[in-house]
Structure 1
Amino acid sequence: MSADALLPLLKSTFGFDHFRGRQAEVVDRVMARERTLAVMPTGAGKSLTYQLPAVALDGCVVVVSPLIALMHDQLRGARAAGIRAASLTSVDMDGAETRQAYRDGTLDLLYVAPERATGEGFRALLEARTPALFAIDEAHCVSEWGHDFRPDYRLLRPLLDAFPQVPRLALTATADKHTREDILVQLGIPDDGLILAGFDRPNIRYAIRPRISPARQLLDFIAANPGPGIVYAPTRSGTERLAEQLATATGRRVAAYHAGLDSEIRARVQHDFVASEDGIVTATVAFGMGIDKPDVRFVAHAALPKSIESYYQETGRGGRDGDPAETLMLWGANDFATARVRLAELPEARVAGERARLNALAVLVETVECRRAALLRHFGENPPMNCGNCDNCLDPAAQVDATVLAQKLLSAVYRTGQSYGAGHIEAVLTGRSDERIVGRGHDKLSVFGIVEGEEARLIKPLVRSLMAREALSTTEHGGLMLGPAAKPVLKGEAPVLMAEPPLKRTKRDPRGAGAAANPVGDPLFDALRATRRELAQEAGVPPYVIFHDAVLRAMANERPTNRSALSTIPGVGAKKLDAWGDAFLAVIDQY
């Protein structure tokens, strides 16, 4: 059965008249019982490529997923669409019931963690009734080249090979060329089984700024984006400090999330955030993979992410519903210094790959060209030079050739003994004599006072730039020293181009991209949202499980007067129409 033949089922189950992107190609391969790796951006509808076959195929689709919270979020959505779904996890109290339902053939979908999937007991369960499909979600976890390698994923191959006749579908949003090749090998998928749907998320606006006044920068950003959001911080204490600051300054509900919290607290924070329409979580990277929340309107990083893949995945948690979302990354020179120190702690085999990822991040934060283009080129794409939806495209900065100034700065670092901080180097270069400089004889150096005028204001941003490029690094006491990339700069073999820093703070649009989708002051839309909130509370599910904001907007615009008209709105499937259609029609009738 082809994907086209499943269109009526797609409409009745999910409320969609057609497939999006390359979903149809993936579904075609699944239905033809072929092995497939689908690399699709977050929000492109990866889960539909196995949930629809789960309804169409004779048998149960087994989904391997890395986090319990992620499974349970997807479970709620599948059940709301009328799919017979269950999970087998350490927190599920109905394990025996679920196993019996699987044996009886009354399940369409069964979610399981890789640790459980690789056990002998689970294989015995599958031998009692052969599954219709293996779906391996977050498949980049199988690769040591991936950014989130999990050893348990490596153990999946024997399970898959024990059922060679069962098709297998691997899914990920984040995998560079090397990682994709490794996934194919590790999961036994042929090269021609790769479907690369691209990495672009055009609804996401990217912005990257030097970290100057982080609290104020984050507050301005959040003020422009009233919807739900995530702020990533590098440390546990940082998440708690930020949560307190942002809650006090914004008056919004803000909660911290990190691995050091009690599991019950983490579960409550995650539950409250998923159910909210304007909540904020300040979190370490422990928060994220388990979040299946489509209406996140903004994602901020208070410091440099771990890698460019992590940045792509974490920012990709915004706008999964296709509506506009906005991102902001704040970075400092010390972020790169700290990251490079961590490289020394890795196994030798991983150092080269992680250094390449860090260098790719340096290119991303330093570029004066399109951010999206730089990001997509890292994943092997050939994007247009201008996306029209990143800070550099919307408010382009002038590019400055700072090669000569960089040579002066590096020379000053070397001649002062490679042990002084940026402030001391700046004072030497600009000829500011003080007791410390005179006492060490630095006022007698050839580099003393060789920078003046407009050039002087470039020194601080240039230090950040040279640290990002590995031309500068830091000593254990925080002083500056020459890095491995300094020599080509000093010899004039590597030009140093940088964005000219603004003379004054740019006035920000009071409404960010993440705030622009929903109608403002529309009483019908607000009433539909209120009804959705009430129904969600009654059903014990997050509001988006009832309907996404886009569906409510369509209801407010089209004002259907009966079930037949309501069923034509994308996203209104038969099960949801029966369960909640009349409640929304009653609201529309009042307006």
Structure 2
Amino acid sequence: MDTPTEVLHRVFGYDSFRAGQQEIIEHVVAGGDALVLMPTGGGKSLCYQIPALVRPGVGVVVSPLIALMQDQVDALRALGVRAGFLNSTQGLDEQQTVAATLLAGELDLLYLAPERLRVESTMRLLEKAKISVFAIDEAHCVAQWGHDFRPDYLALSQLHERFPQIPRIALTATATPATHAEISTRLGLDQARHFVAGFDRPNIHYRITAKSEPKRQLLDFLRTEHDGDAGIVYCLSRASVEKIAEFLVEHGIAAVPYHAGLDAATRAAHQARFLREDGLIVVATIAFGMGIDKPDVRFVAHLDLPKSLEGYYQETGRAGRDGLPATAWMAYGLQDVVQHRRLSLEGDEAHRRRQAHHLDAMLALCETVGCRRVMLLDYFGQKDAEPCGNCDTCQTPPASWDGTVPAQKVLSTVLRLARERRQKFGVGQVVDILLGKTTAKVLQHGHETLTVFGVGAELGNAEWHGVVRQLLSQGLLAVESDYGALVLTDDSAAVLRGQREVLLRRDLAPARSRSGSGSGASKGKTAVELPAAAAPVFERLRAWRAGVAKEQGVPAYVIFHDATLREIATLGPASLGELARVNGVGENKLAKYGPGVLETLAAETSAS
């Protein structure tokens, strides 16, 4: 029987484990249960794949990602691993073939959707097979009030009841301390060993900018920093997804929409294009992304405020899985706060409390004057983080200012409208009153006679909107659910009486980025990370890889990751033996793709 280190080298082509992997793998290989919290890109999959290859029998992987199972299996087969899956996309004949292969002992890994385990015939099939380990991927889906809840995950505790001798490993990249505890309880893993590998993704640059013209801001961001890069743009509504995708295409940027309103065939086609093509952007709702294993996603952009920090971390974590620099960019504004405050008033009392907690944490990240990474890690229970130096607030520290008087003016306007006129209005009318604008609506309601009319001339329209946004964020203003009218809160009175100081974050004007290649642009990265002589070699290898991937009908990263091609281009191996020493080149890939790589390198040498 091979050791974990031997499997790592022979199958996956790596000489050493990443931090935390070896201890987890050896624990599971020895038959122990494990609950693993590890950041996206940290190598979670090896933590169950290697035990499945070391222990006798087949590893059963429970995953909610039906649409990605084929790609997951293709990637393993490219490594020489005998992998298969059972899900609802297969016909009866195909399912019977996989079942027969399983019972014949000819599978190393079998992927199942959680709903399959509710089917008694599936459980009986597994009882007939020799199972090495059960892996429960995306384990946060068991958390009932989480952002990716899957009801079928609640039944997974039966695995231990029916297979008590088989080790289980549950894994997730997204879990607060409360979610961690819920996963442990619901999956019956309280007695398991828990591994928390941290949540930091140091290669991701977090940046949140004041929203002014979001389409233009996004276009500037893409053109100046990520021209030609693959990435994901998240929007809250299906309509916004369609509009932004159309806008990008009109401006010469390859983009496709993805949301639940599209038919299944279109969604599958767009997802397949994203995985297989270089430089394609997917504009999507949160329906897209979980389990996407594309390593070279260079950015994730948000044009709307996510509902929670869990969702934000999960979504931004899809960038930079290869460990190279990536950007998490968001445009955030007043309407985001108003909309989410309204949504947080829906549902029963318990639901409203949860929604308010999620929103408060999200807003705190947006409005902080400190390191965003420190705040993000603190939310997930990692309390000892130091300022990262790689987020916008570290690189350009924002100023805070005493906004007590402007806050009093806003609150006083809302108060006078309610007391003197028995009226409630939204942000626009309140700001118009403060600025002394004699609009038709102001004159219609006689608001020019209010004592607060025109008292806000010291600030401009955008600045007043920023003040209102931060008052909403701090809970000093609230929004009524029906029409978005502003109302006071229990905390407003202390500000009005001068008993509470209000510190506000000074918004930096959203500046247009300088033209030309930015630090994140593909061409810029290649030039920086490769010696000049290696850059054309890398591009030639990418072209070879694209041709092979197209011929085999698999994503390019299934052949080799960019990081592996960069190392090949830099080292210039002249033999299979030298190529075998490159990270990411295991035995099967060496035999399958090695001659093609060497031929490409030889052709490049001859051409030069």
Do the structures match in fold with TM over 0.5? yes
* Residue type of the alignment partner of 2:154: R
Looking at structure 2, the residues matched to 373 and 210 of structure 1 have their Cα atoms a distance apart, in angstroms, of: 21
The equivalent of 1:100 in structure 2 is 100
Deviation at 1:96, TM superposition (A): 0.5
Structure-2 separation of matches of 1:164 and 1:309: 32
Please tell me whether the aligned partners of residues 338 and 484 of structure 2 are also in contact (alpha carbons under 8 angstroms): no
Over 3 Å counting, the alpha-carbon distance change for 1:347 and 1:577 in structure 2 is farther
> Which amino acid in structure 2 is aligned with residue 245 of structure 1?
F
Change (3 A) 1:409 1:193: same
Of 465, 478, 485, which aligns to 1:479? 485
Indicate if the aligned counterparts of 1:65 and 1:111 stay in contact, CA closer than 8 A. yes
Of 502, 526, 551, the residue aligned with 2:508 is: 502
| Alignment map for 1:322-337 (pairs within 5 Å) | 322-337=323-338
* CA distance in structure 2 between the aligned counterparts of 1:138 and 1:567, rounded to whole angstroms: 33
Confirm whether residue 41 of structure 1 aligns to residue 33 of structure 2.
no
Paired residue secondary structure (1:135): strand
Which residue, 519, 542, 563 being the options, matches 1:550?
A: 563
Amino acid at match of 1:222: L
Distance 2:319 2:238 in 1: 22
CA distance in 2, matches of 1:71, 1:456: 51
Counterpart amino acid of residue 59 in structure 2? V
Q: SS of the residue aligned with 2:257?
A: strand
In structure 2, what is the equivalent of residue 122 of structure 1?
A: 122
Write the distance in 2 (CA, Å) between the matches of 1:424 and 1:344: 22
Task: Tell which deviates more after alignment, 171-180 or 493-502.
Answer: 493-502
1:214-363 to 2 correspondence within 5 Å?
A: 214-223=214-223, 224-225=225-226, 226-249=228-251, 251-363=252-364
Q: So what's the TM-score if we normalise by structure 1?
A: 0.95
Find 1:541's aligned residue among 544, 554, 570.
554
Measured against aligned partners, the alpha-carbon deviations of 1:32-53 in whole angstroms (never above 9, x if no partner) come to 2111110000000111111111
| Deviation sequence 1:297-342 (CA, Å, 0-9, x none) | 1111110112110000001111111111112112232323322333
**1:494-531 per-position Cα deviation (integer Å, ceiling 9, x unaligned):** 54323222357254574143645433782111101000
Distance (whole Å) between structure 1 residues aligned to residue 493 and residue 5 of structure 2? 61
Shift of 1:184: 0.8
* SS at structure 1 position matched to 2:527: coil
Structure 2 residue 377 is the aligned partner of structure 1 residue 376 = yes
Q: Would the alpha carbon gap of residues 489 and 116 (structure 1) be closer, same or farther in structure 2, given more than 3 Å must change?
A: farther
Residue identity in the other structure for 1:519: A
Root-mean-square deviation (CA, aligned residues, Å) is 2.1
Q: Report the residue type matching 1:567 in the other structure.
A: A
For residues 108 and 510 of structure 2, what CA distance do their matches in structure 1 show?
Answer: 59
Q: Can you give the 5+ residue segments of structure 2 that lack an aligned partner in the other structure?
A: none
| Aligned position for 2:526 | 518
Identity of aligned residues (%): 44
Structure 1 residues 10 and 436, CA gap change in structure 2 (3 angstroms): closer
Say if 1:23 and 1:45, in contact at 8 Å, map to a contact too.
Answer: yes
Q: How far apart, CA to CA, are the structure 2 residues paired with 1:219 and 1:38? A: 38
Establish whether residue 570 from structure 1 lines up as the match of residue 593 from structure 2.
no
Q: 1:527 is matched by which residue type in structure 2? A: R
Asked if structure 1 preserves the Cα contact closer than 8 Å seen for 2:209 and 2:510, the reply is: no
**Structure 1, residues 95-121: CA drift from partner, whole Å, max 9, x if none?**
101111111111110000000022211
CA distances 1:110-141 after superposition (whole Å, capped 9, x unpaired): 00000002221111011112411110001011
Question: Residues 22-33 of structure 1: matches in 2 within 5 Å?
Answer: 22-33=20-31
Stretch deviating more after TM superposition (431-440 or 474-483): 431-440
Shift of residue 434 of structure 1? 5.2
1:402, distance to aligned residue in structure 2 (A): 1.2
Change (3 A) 1:152 1:456: closer
Deviation of 1:350 after TM superposition, in Å, equals 3.5
Q: How has the CA–CA distance of structure 1 residues 406 and 344 changed in structure 2, closer, same or farther, with 3 Å as cutoff? A: closer
User: 1-side partners of 2:499 and 2:27: how far apart?
Assistant: 51
Return closer, same or farther for 1:514/1:101 CA change in 2, 3 Å cut-off.
Answer: farther
For 1:168-207, list aligned pairs within 5 A. Answer: 168-190=168-190, 193-207=193-207
Matched, 1:442 2:454: no
Kindly report structure 1 stretches of 4+ aligned residues shifted beyond 6 Å: none
Compute the displacement of 1:238 (Å): 1.2
- List per-residue Cα deviations over 1:381-418 (Å, max 9, x = no partner): 12444211111112222222212211221111211235
Task: Decide whether the 8 Å contact of 2:62 with 2:111 is kept in 1.
Answer: yes
User: How far has the Cα of 1:472 moved from its partner?
Assistant: 2.4
**1:451 partnered with 2:459:** no
C-alpha displacement of 1:369: 1.3
Offset of residue 483 of structure 1: 4.0
Aligned to 1:327, what secondary structure does the other structure show?
Answer: strand
- State whether residues 298 and 514 of structure 1, in contact with CA within 8 Å, keep that contact through their aligned partners in structure 2: no
Q: Which moved more, 1:509-518 or 1:270-279?
A: 509-518
Paired with 2:147 and 2:261, the residues of 1 have a C-alpha distance of: 22
Contact 1:325/1:514 (CA < 8 Å) preserved in 2?
no
Give the aligned residue type for 2:488: L
Amino acid at match of 1:67: L
Deviates more, 1:84-93 or 1:167-176: 84-93
CA gap of 1:457–1:355, structure 2 versus 1, over 3 A, is: closer
| SS class of match (2:554) | coil
Paired position in structure 2 for 1:146: 146
Q: Is the 8 A contact 2:35 2:189 kept in 1?
A: yes
SS at match of 2:131: coil
Secondary structure of 1:580's match?
A: helix
* More deviation, 362-371/470-479: 470-479
Identify the residue that residue 75 of structure 1 maps to in structure 2: 73
Partners of 1:436 and 1:30 in 2: CA distance: 68
Q: CA shift at 1:69, angstroms? A: 1.9
Q: Is the 8 A contact 1:35 1:190 kept in 2?
A: no
- Kept in 2, the 8 Å contact 1:366–1:499? The answer is yes
2:328 partner SS: strand
| Partners of 1:469 and 1:485 within 8 A in 2 | no
Q: Which residue of 2 aligns with 1:63?
A: 61
2 CA distance for matches of 1:326 and 1:513? Answer: 8
The reply on whether 1:420 has 2:425 as its aligned counterpart is yes
Q: How many matched pairs?
A: 588
- CA distance in 2: counterparts of 1:457 and 1:331, whole angstroms: 13
Return the offset for 1:443.
3.8
The one-letter code matched in structure 2 to 1:180 is H
Distance in structure 1 (CA, Å) of the matches to 2:301 and 2:16: 33
Matching residue's letter, 2:545? R
Deviation at 1:453, TM superposition (A): 3.1
